[in-house]
Amino acid sequence: MIIISHHHAKKLVSVTRNNSDLTGYSGVLTQVFWRLCEDFPEELIIWKEKSVEVNIADVSAIFPHSLIMVSYPATSYFIGDEIGYVDQLPFVNPDRELRYPTWRMSTDVGGIYGKVALQFKTAFKDIRGFGYLLNSIAKTGQQNSLFCYSDPALMQGLQNENSLEPRNTSALFSFVGQHFKKVRLLLLFFCLLKYEKKFPLFSLVKALFRSSFFRLNVELPEPEVSEPVNTLDLEKIDVIIPTLGRPEYLKNVLIDLKNQQKKPEKVIIVEQNPEPNSSSELIYLKTEEWPFRIIHYFTHQTGACNARNIALKEVSSDYVFFADDDIRFEENFLLKGLSEMQKLNIDALNLNTLQPGETTEFSKLKQWGAFASGASIVPSKYAKKVNFSLAFEHGFGEDYDYGMKLRNLGCDIIYHPDLILQHLKAPTGGFRNISNDVEPSRELKPKPSPTFMLLVKRHYNTCMIRGYKINLFLKFYNKQTIKNPFKYLLVMRNRWVISENKCADLERQFEGKSN
């Protein structure tokens, strides 16, 4: 392990290897960093402010394999919360109290393996600022199978000194211009002008001409992981499936589960039918033999949120597979999924779901900003601690909300391109065919929907809310009939207020019914 000690990310203080000083390294901090990565590619390169103590005892647990980059801020991150004006993914709003997925790196303390960092040198070799370099590696790396975190366990004790490079508007614009679509620069400029009374025209113009790293492809080396203890024979998995009006599709799901090399312990089915005098359509649950225990609920109350909450109470295995009732998968699916989770120390898996005729869009393993409530594998120790909020019933957003609750427990969500589910999108049944919108068509309707507003209020910080609102207004302009911009702005402000009010009604209505 190499430790680079610096002063305010500007001046190199010392370089040590296994508590012994390394000589011959001097000059610009970024250049020293690249030299060390080249000289010690197999080792973990740790950087730290000179006053910060690294928690050496926990380093092996913090970096279980080589495709991990971690930092932690004593005060704040190099890229400030203003990044929320242009980016509303969970990664820009980390919880500092726990290990949280984020590309926002700090120069206070952090680490990455030398051979992994070297894969970015060709693109980033001219970057002079150390904080800018670390964030460029993390932002690009996260799209190329690098797992990036903020983790308080890396720092020994709390620090009070502000050791970060001073943030400036020019660096922010440059970073957005290089790592996002250029059009986002205009959004950033407008938000800074509107909300912070800044007019950074020079920074905007300069950033427009910076080279772009957006969607830069980087091939990272295969992670070297210690051979895990094979506990797959001991670890158990349950499956939960809410279903409505799809008996034949559900039967095919059960057949695929029956054929699994790693069979589930229990399959928990919550069947719904809103007709008062209806009864179960799933006759085959009792007339056919199944190699797992089936727990079957039948209810007239519709809604996937309520159904999954009922099913979660019955989960008793180590893992839970959240499944839809119209999917198909290969016989090695569960075995491969659990094996990958064990090998890479993955908290939760989001599976590659393809509809008929679709091809894989994202071909790399990566940290995922969403959560698929019908296509994920989650350890029960996390899954059973939170519920699906009933405020989202029959609408959209319950899966995103549940995923955020998992992250707030320290559970990272990883997308795996090689674990494929076929999503047949059955033409009948499902849970989103019931609308809560009872307004007459002539009434002004909320924008965004009240359920999405609920997500925004729950999980976005101030800059993210403002950025989302401005972006929504701009993008929606060409999709509606009002072309007078002043009238349009007035109407959209009113629709936003209506959405906020309905969102508040949802929270009051379902307060205490689900977390």
- In this prediction the pTM is 0.94
Cβ neighbors of 277 (< 8 A, separation 6 or more) are: none
**Which pair of structure tokens corresponds to residue 395?**
């609408």
Instruction: Based on the fold, state whether residues 456 and 413 are members of the same structural domain.
Output: no
Could you state, in chain order, the average pLDDT of each consecutive group of 10 residues for the chain (515 residues)? 96 95 94 98 97 94 96 92 97 96 97 98 97 98 98 81 62 98 97 96 97 96 70 88 96 98 97 95 97 98 96 98 97 96 94 95 96 97 97 92 98 97 87 47 87 97 98 94 95 97 93 63
Instruction: Based on the fold, state whether residues 61 and 135 are members of the same structural domain.
Output: yes
What distance in Å separates the CA atoms of residue 365 and residue 417, rounded to the nearest whole number?
A: 6
What distance in Å separates the CA atoms of residue 115 and residue 370, rounded to the nearest whole number?
A: 29
Instruction: Based on the fold, state whether residues 325 and 242 are members of the same structural domain.
Output: yes
User: Which of 171, 193, 208 corresponds to the end of one domain?
Assistant: 208
Instruction: Based on the fold, state whether residues 292 and 383 are members of the same structural domain.
Output: yes
Instruction: Based on the fold, state whether residues 492 and 361 are members of the same structural domain.
Output: no
Residue 439, pLDDT score:
45
What burial class does residue 338 get, using C-beta atoms within 10 Å of its C-beta: 0-12 exposed, 13-18 middle, 19+ buried?
A: buried
The answer to the question of residue 113 being in a domain is yes
Give, as one character, the DSSP assignment of residue 288. Answer: S
What distance in Å separates the CA atoms of residue 281 and residue 247, rounded to the nearest whole number?
A: 6
User: Which of 208, 227, 245 corresponds to the end of one domain?
Assistant: 208
Instruction: Please list the residues that pair with 243 across neighbouring strands.
Output: 271
What's the total number of domains in the chain? Answer: 3
Other C-beta atoms lying within 10 Å of the C-beta of residue 225: 14
Instruction: Based on the fold, state whether residues 177 and 321 are members of the same structural domain.
Output: no
Instruction: Based on the fold, state whether residues 184 and 242 are members of the same structural domain.
Output: no
What distance in Å separates the CA atoms of residue 103 and residue 161, rounded to the nearest whole number?
A: 22
Residue 224, pLDDT score:
73
Q: What is the DSSP string of 254-281?
A: HHHHHT-SS--SEEEEEEE---TT----
Q: Are the CB atoms for 56 and 16 separated by under 8 Å?
A: no
Q: Are the CB atoms for 387 and 307 separated by under 8 Å?
A: no
Instruction: Based on the fold, state whether residues 298 and 197 are members of the same structural domain.
Output: no
Give, as one character, the DSSP assignment of residue 357. Answer: T
The answer to the question of residue 437 being in a domain is no
Instruction: Based on the fold, state whether residues 156 and 273 are members of the same structural domain.
Output: no
Angle at CA of residue 174, ends 112 and 195, nearest 5°: 110
In CATH, what number is assigned to the domain containing residue 260? 3.90.550.10
Instruction: Based on the fold, state whether residues 88 and 130 are members of the same structural domain.
Output: yes
User: Which of 423, 440, 473 corresponds to the end of one domain?
Assistant: 423
Other C-beta atoms lying within 10 Å of the C-beta of residue 272: 21
Instruction: Based on the fold, state whether residues 23 and 169 are members of the same structural domain.
Output: yes
Domain of 54 in residue numbering reads as: 2-208
Q: Which of these, 225, 330, 314, lies nearest to 268 by C-alpha position?
A: 314
The answer to the question of residue 428 being in a domain is no
**Which pair of structure tokens corresponds to residue 122?**
């060709």
Residue 158, pLDDT score:
59
Cβ neighbors of 292 (< 8 A, separation 6 or more) are: 257, 258, 263, 264, 265, 266, 267
Other C-beta atoms lying within 10 Å of the C-beta of residue 467: 26
Residue 440, pLDDT score:
45
Residue 162, pLDDT score:
47
Instruction: Based on the fold, state whether residues 249 and 147 are members of the same structural domain.
Output: no
The answer to the question of residue 218 being in a domain is no
- 145 phi/psi in degrees, rounded to 5: 80, 15
Pairing state of beta strands 44-49 and 2-7?
Answer: parallel
The answer to the question of residue 100 being in a domain is yes
The answer to the question of residue 216 being in a domain is no
Pairing state of beta strands 68-72 and 147-150?
Answer: parallel
The answer to the question of residue 226 being in a domain is no
Q: What is the DSSP string of 198-235?
A: ---HHHHHHHHTSPP-TT----PPPP--------TTT-
What distance in Å separates the CA atoms of residue 343 and residue 20, rounded to the nearest whole number?
A: 33
SS (H, E, C) 152-174: HHHECCCCCCCCCCCCCHHHHHH
Buried b (16+ CB within 10 A) or exposed e, 78-89: bbbebbbbbbbb
Residue 513, pLDDT score:
65
Residue 438, pLDDT score:
41
The answer to the question of residue 500 being in a domain is yes
Residue 166, pLDDT score:
53
